[in-house]
């Protein structure tokens, strides 16, 4: 048997060192992956084409043809006070664990990320795009704006002057007399009973759906 040549030996050493480095430092993290995607996806944020009005999210919540996934990335204490019906609470650092679920979503799926304002939700959107590039959107104005529109004053108190207003800082600007979670009336308002709100529809499905009665 011939002894390995020097180039073969060096090649094997390089592979071993690369494997060791990968084991030590792991795969690129989501923030690093986002850097590779930023040039293509950052314009969607700058143009705000992925920020959807609360009224559009409310419509999605009441649309049986849509497979809606809502990720709430706030701290648990805010989640306990108030969250949207059927939303799932998940920490930012756990978003990578959603890869298989996101890849398995049907073509009529829409993912919406929510936080108190847009700060955390925007960071989470970037991470989700790095994880699986889902058909994902961000709630415009966050749950502070949602509660400005659909909140129930008698169930809330004013935490920061005029509730829901002010410079975005990641905080929940509505306080509640009780921690009701999704039992609060604003957790899923009846779309037909709330005042009509004009908005520009931004959500696009991966596949156009044929609805009952031949209407799209």
Summarised one tens digit per residue, pLDDT across range 101-155 is: 999 999 999 999 999 999 999 999 999 999 999 999 999 999 999 999 999 776 7
Output the average pLDDT for the chain.
Answer: 84
* pLDDT value at 161 more than 60: no
DSSP state of 154: G
Q: Is residue 110 helix, strand or coil?
A: strand
Query: What residues contact residue 33 under an 8 Å CB cut-off, 6+ apart?
Result: 130
Distances (CA, A) of 71 to 19, 75, 85, 148, 157: 35, 12, 11, 20, 25
DSSP state of 101: H
CATH dotted code for 32-208: 3.40.250.10
Whole-prediction pTM: 0.80
């Amino acid at each position: 048997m011939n002894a390995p040549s020097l180039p073969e030996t060096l090649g094997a050493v390089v592979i071993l060192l690369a494997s060791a480095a990968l084991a030590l430092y792991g795969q690129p993290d989501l923030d690093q992956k986002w850097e590779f995607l930023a040039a293509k996806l950052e314009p969607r944020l700058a143009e705000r084409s992925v920020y959807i009005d609360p009224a559009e999210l409310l419509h999605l919540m009441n649309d049986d043809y849509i497979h809606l996934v809502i990720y709430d990335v706030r701290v648990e204490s805010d989640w306990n006070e108030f969250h949207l019906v059927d939303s799932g609470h998940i920490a930012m650092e756990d978003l990578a664990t959603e890869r298989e679920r996101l890849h398995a979503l049907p073509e009529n799926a829409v993912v919406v990320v929510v936080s108190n304002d847009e700060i955390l939700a925007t960071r989470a959107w970037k991470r989700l795009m790095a994880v699986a590039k889902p058909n994902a959107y961000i709630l415009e104005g966050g749950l502070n704006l949602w509660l400005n529109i659909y909140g129930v004053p008698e169930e809330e108190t004013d935490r920061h002057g005029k509730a829901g207003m002010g410079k975005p800082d990641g905080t929940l600007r509505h306080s509640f007399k009780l921690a009701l979670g999704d039992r609060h009336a604003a957790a899923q308002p009846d779309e037909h009973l709330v005042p009509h709100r004009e908005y520009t529809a931004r959500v696009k499905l991966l596949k156009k759906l044929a609805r009952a009665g031949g209407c799209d």
